[in-house]
Copies of this chain bind each other. A is one copy, B any other.
């Protein structure tokens, strides 16, 4: 990690300065090299979507109920047949060895310590088997389609074999706008940070383009998944398949109709399409499109328990945190991740208590002020 050295090694105790979940965001730059931090924190392009995500939460207000008896309250939920003690999942984040020497293995320990659901990325810095060995039983695998179907199928089998309980297929980043912030900071992925789970798959031969062909359309996108690929995938596994990266209500309906088990409404934290709207803004329309009872998750912009509350009120069943997870990992390893999750759950509980909601089912759209 020569190019982007961590300024301080991860702490072995919870930092005193952390008063709330978002404080990990402010502390992290002390523990991540500047260029790597730009890579983690930045969004694509001029970061319009990154800013829109935060603005959407800040502009959403909660209208509390008074005097409700919440002594029977809890934050638990059932999701794909599994009981989760709280609705905050660890989003799949690639290359966590960039910010912590042990990477996702450490994240998994933090998740296990709090009985939280962990989603491991195809691009994890540690193999999916290594991570599974340290994870609790609430673990899902995030799948990126590989250039060769055989490799995708193999990943799938490995994930099933390693006890992952659900599959999140990310479909919003067939091609990415690079992060200008990272580029300007001179970021390059350090050599030792690799997608460990993919190490044994052959690198597909470089595609030769004819004159006049586009690096994008005939190049990168030649390997991008389509509706047919997704249909194939649904036939390959008995795990519930969740699609991540949905913003368009019509897409949501089609995905549900073809047998997808649930969706993650997401703009990839402002890291995919430069100029996409805030995920939170689309949530009500997507909930309306898929109807009640169909599992919807949200990510992109969550920094606090009240953000979680707002996401649930506008239609999500659960939410995922990406950057906060990385920040906590960088600051204090597994301990930081566990602490972060405890803080978020606690903040959600306080928000629910203040708003008069004893359970997640009570957090409906009428809790939002218009």
Contacts and interface: CB of A to CB of B under 8 A. Distances in A.
A20 B48 contact: no
A240 interface: no
A149 interface: no
Interface in A71-90: 71-75
Given A45-B304, A245-B66, A276-B61, A217 B73 contact: yes
Interface in A57-106: 58, 60-75
Given A65-B248, A66-B248, A277-B61, A183 B346 contact: no
Given A275-B60, A350-B177, A251 B221 contact: no
Interface string A31-51: 000000000000001101100
Given A22-B46, A180-B19, A346-B216, A64 B276 contact: yes
A273 B62 contact: yes
A251 B281 contact: no
A293 to B, nearest CB: 22
Given A71-B217, A73-B221, A214-B73, A62 B171 contact: no
A62 B45 CA distance: 14
A52 B61 contact: yes
Interface string A139-182: 00000000000000000000000000000000110111110100
Interface string A334-364: 0000000000001101111111001000000
A70 B217 contact: yes
Nearest to A62: B275
A319 interface: no
A174 B217 contact: no
A70 B369 contact: no
Contact of A353 (B75, B175, B245, B274): B175
A218 interface: yes
A306 B180 contact: no
Interface string A202-215: 00000000000011
A247 interface: yes
Nearest to A246: B66
| Listed residue (A49, A214, A346, A349) with the most chain B CB atoms within 10 angstroms of its CB | A214
Given A351-B275, A353-B216, A230 B306 contact: no
Interface in A238-261: 243, 245-248, 251, 255
8 contacts: A61-B276, A66-B172, A66-B245, A67-B226, A68-B226, A175-B353, A216-B352, A273-B354
Interface of A: 19-20, 22, 45-46, 48-49, 52, 58, 60-75, 171-172, 174-178, 180, 183-184, 214-218, 220-222, 224-227, 229-230, 243, 245-248, 251, 255, 272-277, 281-282, 304, 306, 309-310, 346-347, 349-355, 358, 369
Q: Nearest 4 A-B pairs (CB), nearest first?
A: A73-B217, A216-B349, A61-B277, A273-B354
